[in-house]
Amino acid sequence: MEPVPVKIVCNGTAYQLQVEPRTLLADLLRSDLGSKGTHIGCEHGVCGACTVLVDGEPMRSCLMLAVQADGRTIQTVESLELPDGSLNELQESFHEHHGLQCGYCTSGILMSLTALFNEDKAPSESRIRDYIQGHICRCTGYQQMIEACVELSGLRSKELS
């Protein structure tokens, strides 16, 4: 098939690309834009490893064609790094609470939680659990991730009060 033009902004950089119509957004991000932090697990929308933000909303990039991202803004896990190269507060809390082991699921989970913490400065534990439950992690048992998020939410609550 003939390539089609796609314009996207990914992690603050504008791209104009020519892509095959069948190209998945996950493949575009990894192969064309070098966002290797976007992981591909099941490739059918179940595991959540490929989750990125599209116009601020968490989306499974294995279920979206690259052409469907035309004109939209994408954020991958690479966007979470602070300007000095350090971890952001959510990543730091995961690190402190041992919220990851192999890390394969982590980038997708961080992106879903980023959407939550963007929308709700100090989410409840039940909201945190709702956002994590759409992801499969084979290593951690999830508890440490929840603890990381609950602590971050508590810190933010104190800042707000």
Q: Which residues make up the interface to ligand FES (CB under 6 A)?
A: 40-43, 45-50, 60, 62, 100-106, 137-140
| Token couple for 68 | 């469907």
Least Cβ distance, residue 30 to ligand FES (angstroms):
11
Count of Cβ atoms closer than 10 Å to residue 55 Cβ: 12
Structural element, H or E, at residue 74: strand 73-75
Least Cβ distance, residue 134 to ligand FES (angstroms):
9
Structural element, H or E, at residue 10: strand 4-10
Smaller CB separation from ligand FES, 9 or 46 = 46
The residue with tokens 């575009």 is: 28
Closest listed residue to residue 42, CA positions, set 68, 62, 22? 62
Smaller CB separation from ligand FES, 62 or 152 = 62
Least Cβ distance, residue 102 to ligand FES (angstroms):
3
Smaller CB separation from ligand FES, 7 or 22 = 22
